[in-house]
Structure 1
Amino acid sequence: MLYYSIIIPLLLATSLALFIIPRIIMVSVKKELMGEETVVRDGKIRRRVPRFGGVSLFPILVVSVGLPLACTFFLNDQFSTNAENSTYFVQFMLMMTGLTAMYMVGVMDDLVGVSLKSKLAIELLAALLIPLSGLRIDHLDGLLGLYELSSWISIPLTVIAVLYVSNTVSMLDDIDGLASGMVMIVFGVMAVLCAIANQYLLLMVCVAMVGLLVPFLFRNVMGWRVGWRKLFFGDTGGLTIGYLMAFVVIAVSHMSGKELPVGIGMACFGTLLIPMFDVMRVGITRLVNGRNVFKSGDKNHIHHRLMLAGLKPRQVLVVVLLITFEFICLNMWGVWNGWNLSLLLVIDVSAWFLMQVVIMYYKNRAGRDKC
């Protein structure tokens, strides 16, 4: 089972990504599906980067998971006959339906643009499919004193969580390797948890995502050394990855107290703590300043602030990924050792605010030095 769950999806996803990405870049250049030119230091213009890389994610995922999954059915493996895994399979298929909708609206948005109302309506319908499949955030394991949640609370909470996570990845797609690196960490951690819980279908998905993101990370971070052109996810990739991350995180959180320790949901969402807290901070800042919460382009995300504090893009990438890894280790350690989840949340929030204070200090000092 290890062969079909890890090795084949990993190799298939990486190989297909290496084959498809150069063709997407070629089409993007010929059809002028490029990002806007950006003026950088000394009046120089940065090379235009294709923002249509996300179109490769969905088909690669389907092939990389579908083929090994079909092999398990042909071999009459236990995975295909286990009743509990069949429930996960139904949830997975409904998720794929929603993922298709997110992928299509992302493609349309990247090509011709989609109105905000239409985009939110499609995202809402796709998000509803997850709780309707039976996969809901229906237990908080004592976080803030809450345990079992009624359907009237768990269904809206799940939909909000899916919409929230689905729109975080696109906001990280400004620094070379930041989005792909952070997403690889998330799916890597989820893959380990799925392996511990013997959930092979989710394990295939997570491993396939890690495999197909490796070429993106290498191309954007080190590809210039061998003459490779950079490639961003765009809205297609951001929505597709975000929706899939939300599904996997909620699915693994549902194993709390069963295959995994009680409170594992706290550790799962801890993998997304940096983008989730950052989106919340940016949203609150926009509200305070009287700006549209859904309008992007204000250059106020954590990676922008770190660059204003004096770090170079490559340094920002390393710092953000290290901070993400530290938060993951903290939450995993706390959950596995039975810490109180409310206390763990307080520690997370306190660490986040302390980090903001440090960033603001160096940002202000860098501004004074320029003056």
Structure 2
Amino acid sequence: MNIWMVLIAATAVSSVLCNLLIPMAWKTALVDHPCDRKQHVGPVPLVGGLAVYGTMVIMMMAILPLDVNIRLFLVAASFMVLIGALDDRYDIDAGVRFIAQMLAAAVVVFGADVQITQLGNLFGTGVIELGAMSMPFTLLCIVAAMNAYNMIDGIDGLLGALAMVAFAGVSMLALMHQQQLPLLVATILFGALIPYLIRNVGVHFRPVRKIFMGDSGSMLVGFTAVWMLVMLTHPEQLLESWFEVSPDIVPVRPVAVLWLIAVPLMDMFAIMTRRIMKGQSPFKPDREHLHHIFMRAGFSPRQTLALISGIASFKLVLGLTLEWFNVPEVIVLSIFVAIFVLYLLMLKNIWTIVSWVRQKRDIESS
């Protein structure tokens, strides 16, 4: 099927679902209310994730042969979206949510045998095989990604933009390595996010009602992203029954996929490290994320969205370039770690940086 037709169809289906789900949100009280951490105006329907999920299910069932791997993925995704929607409505305990995330991940890891079995030649000494650690490591990666995208969802448009960067990256890597399945799934999700992003950031070229993604959507994005990254790096696990394994299909090196989700991943690990060092729970909500820091420096929410999206896009292009030129994995990893260390140093000295930025902006405006 033509990839552009898939994109257009997914966008159209998502737009229709957004319109249909908004009235349902009001009837079921599935809305987000302002509070100390949520400074939006008035209640906002939490149906963005449901629209993206519905689009994904409809499109995948329409264009993909549903083998056992795809069916188990859809079952696990459905369970995760249900838990996320219940969390949006009733504010489920963090421990219960974590158990639900592990169960959803277990469906694809143990049920479909989808797992990260090796990490590539990261240190120049040969491929690192995970062996018995493959399954627990994959579970950890899936749960980490779900929480990373959940944590980054702090200002209008940010989650949607970063998700679109990740899925665009999946599509590009899939094209580079001739992998049809991740290309189709990533295109579906990219298209599904377009109507959501328009409503979420309030692009008023026509009257639209604002919506939020909700926990159902943020966890779906993280869950699906890792599932597709495993497809890219381990295509033999998902091509057995309905895509013939071709000699032309080359697995993506595991270190390359880190760049697709670099911003939410770095933000999550950095903020959790800071909380632990303060003696707090790593899952305690606060206003210390990257987008909060930019806004404290005097940037508007739209400027912050543009800056962080630009950073994510830069990292994506850098990662794709390194993969295209087949730069040794040890060098790719070193660059990634160096950027992460720079980010940690920035956070450690953030108030000095914020004060400097404010002074500079005050001087320029005077």
**SS state of the match for residue 267, structure 2?**
helix
1:310 aligns with 2:307: no
Contact 2:200/2:210 (CA < 8 Å) preserved in 1?
Answer: yes
Quick check: 8-17 or 31-40, which moved more?
31-40
Instruction: Give the structure 2 partner of residue 277 of structure 1.
Output: 266
Structure 1 residue corresponding to 2:310, chosen from 296, 312, 322: 322
Structure 2 residue corresponding to 1:35, chosen from 15, 22, 32: 32
Contact 2:296/2:354 (CA < 8 Å) preserved in 1?
Answer: yes
What percentage of aligned pairs have identical amino acids?
Answer: 24
Q: Cα offset for 1:324?
A: 1.0
Contact 1:173/1:232 (CA < 8 Å) preserved in 2?
Answer: no
In the alignment, the residues of structure 2 paired with residue 225 and residue 115 of structure 1 have an alpha-carbon distance, to the nearest angstrom, of: 39
1:121 aligns with 2:99: yes
Question: What pairs with 1:202-281 in structure 2 (closer than 5 Å)?
Answer: 202-255=182-235, 259=248, 264-281=253-270
Task: Map Cα deviations across residues 70-128 of structure 1 (whole Å, 9 max, x no partner).
Answer: 6xxxxxxxxxxxxxxx9xx4332222221122111112111223233322222112212
Instruction: Give the structure 1 partner of residue 354 of structure 2.
Output: 363
Instruction: Give the structure 2 partner of residue 51 of structure 1.
Output: 46
Instruction: Specify the code of the residue in structure 1 equivalent to 2:71.
Output: M
Gaps of 5+ in 2: 237-245
1:137 aligns with 2:116: yes
Instruction: Give the structure 1 partner of residue 243 of structure 2.
Output: none
Q: Cα offset for 1:30?
A: 4.3
TM-score normalised by structure 1 residue count: 0.84
Instruction: Specify the code of the residue in structure 1 equivalent to 2:60.
Output: V
Q: Cα offset for 1:258?
A: 6.8
In the alignment, the residues of structure 2 paired with residue 241 and residue 289 of structure 1 have an alpha-carbon distance, to the nearest angstrom, of: 29
Contact 2:25/2:47 (CA < 8 Å) preserved in 1?
Answer: yes
1:301 aligns with 2:289: yes
In the alignment, the residues of structure 1 paired with residue 50 and residue 43 of structure 2 have an alpha-carbon distance, to the nearest angstrom, of: 18
In the alignment, the residues of structure 2 paired with residue 264 and residue 220 of structure 1 have an alpha-carbon distance, to the nearest angstrom, of: 34
Structure 2 residue corresponding to 1:172, chosen from 145, 148, 152: 152
In the alignment, the residues of structure 1 paired with residue 154 and residue 96 of structure 2 have an alpha-carbon distance, to the nearest angstrom, of: 25
Contact 2:297/2:354 (CA < 8 Å) preserved in 1?
Answer: yes
Contact 2:170/2:260 (CA < 8 Å) preserved in 1?
Answer: no
| Change over 3 Å in CA distance of 1:166–1:45 after alignment to 2 | closer
Aligned length in residues: 346
**SS state of the match for residue 285, structure 1?**
helix
| Aligned-pair Cα RMSD in Å | 2.7
1:20 aligns with 2:21: no
In the alignment, the residues of structure 2 paired with residue 329 and residue 275 of structure 1 have an alpha-carbon distance, to the nearest angstrom, of: 16
Quick check: 23-32 or 341-350, which moved more?
23-32
Task: Map Cα deviations across residues 181-202 of structure 1 (whole Å, 9 max, x no partner).
Answer: 1111111221232234443333
Quick check: 274-283 or 252-261, which moved more?
252-261
Task: Map Cα deviations across residues 288-346 of structure 1 (whole Å, 9 max, x no partner).
Answer: 111111222x0111111111122111111111111111111222222222322222222
Instruction: Give the structure 2 partner of residue 354 of structure 1.
Output: 342
| Change over 3 Å in CA distance of 1:258–1:97 after alignment to 2 | farther
Instruction: Give the structure 2 partner of residue 67 of structure 1.
Output: 62
Task: Map Cα deviations across residues 35-68 of structure 1 (whole Å, 9 max, x no partner).
Answer: 222589xxx9723322232122222111112112
Instruction: Give the structure 2 partner of residue 78 of structure 1.
Output: none
Structure 2 residue corresponding to 1:287, chosen from 276, 293, 306: 276
Instruction: Specify the code of the residue in structure 2 equivalent to 1:10.
Output: L
Instruction: Give the structure 2 partner of residue 82 of structure 1.
Output: none
TM-score normalised by structure 2 residue count: 0.85
Instruction: Specify the code of the residue in structure 2 equivalent to 1:63.
Output: I
Contact 2:175/2:183 (CA < 8 Å) preserved in 1?
Answer: yes
